[in-house]
Amino acid sequence: MLAILVSFVKRSIAQGNAGRIEIPAKKVFRLDKYTLIADELIMGDSSTLELTGPTTYIKANRIVIGSGCQIIGVGSNGINGKNGKSSTTPMGLCKAGGNGEVGNPGLDGAAGRDVILDATQFDIHGILNIDLHGGNGGDGGNGGKGSHGGHTTVHCIGNGGNGGNGGNGGNGGKGGTLSILVQSMEPSELVTKINLINRGGYRGLGGEGGKGGPRGTGPSEGKSKLGLNGKPGIDGQYGKDSKPLFYSIAKKKSDQLSETLTTAAHGQ
């Protein structure tokens, strides 16, 4: 896996080398490529670097970051499940009411982005905010309501329709991985200048069960049964948190570089 990643990085270097890349103050730079290679990367005050790929490798001899800057690689939220349709009319005389449809499940949130920052020199003015949290799971849809039972006679009953079950909630996406390789600063110094958010996404909630329909009216109304309420959907699971900031920073050595690239490639 490491050999594949290194090969991909080399191809990208040949295509996208740059001497100096500067993001103006208060501007957003959307990085569409998975690698960014430059002699210098300058982020003006309150500028934003937005990551789009699952894993981004940024290498520069010197990275200068102004005050109030941020790197954003947040996983997208899962879509909420659709509500089940309610049954509005009974099936006919002496017939049970129609059942409500089940709610659709919510979709899982996407994982936060993985990013590798590889620089000989870091120069950070103020606090750099890096947000790589996982996306939230979508909520499950509510179950539809059952309709009332058909009109009864002395010879028949009309039970209410059952409510549909609620859809299950989606799972939260796992937090993204940050890897920083540096020669000029100690990890303890970088920790004081970076605010890392790489928690897992929140779980989606299960949908509510639909209400059962009332029994049909008429001479046998007392013998007819109410429709059963649908069961609520199951809540999703919280996304897995990623590694704390201190364990994301390493003094740059060849063996640590290989280990970090391997970890990022496997998304651990």
| The pLDDT of residue 9 | 35
Mean of pLDDT values over 23-51:
94
Give the rounded percent of residues in the chain with a pLDDT score beyond 70.
87
| The pLDDT of residue 253 | 53
Q: Is the pLDDT of residue 4 over 70?
A: no
| The pLDDT of residue 257 | 46
| The pLDDT of residue 255 | 42
Q: Is the pLDDT of residue 262 over 50?
A: no
Contact criterion met (CB below 8 Å) for 209 and 99: no
Mean of pLDDT values over 97-106:
97
| The pLDDT of residue 200 | 98
> How many Å apart are CA 42 and CA 65, to the nearest integer?
6
pLDDT band at 18 (very low <50, low <70, confident <90, very high): low
Q: Is the pLDDT of residue 2 over 50?
A: no
Mean of pLDDT values over 228-241:
98
Structure token digits, residue 151: 């009109």
SS (H, E, C) 11-59: HHHHHHEEEEEEECCCCEEEECCCEEEEEEEEECCCCEEEECCCEEEEE
pLDDT in tens, 78-91: 999 999 999 988 77
Nearest to 204 by CA among 133, 135, 112: 135
Distances (CA, A) of 136 to 79, 166, 206, 244: 9, 19, 13, 20
Domain ranges of the chain: 2-9+17-266
Residue 185's identity, in one-letter code, is M
Mean of pLDDT values over 231-237:
98
pLDDT in tens, 113-129: 999 999 999 999 999 99
Question: Mean of the per-residue pLDDT values for the chain?
Answer: 87
pLDDT band at 187 (very low <50, low <70, confident <90, very high): confident
Q: Is the pLDDT of residue 219 over 80?
A: yes
| The pLDDT of residue 242 | 96
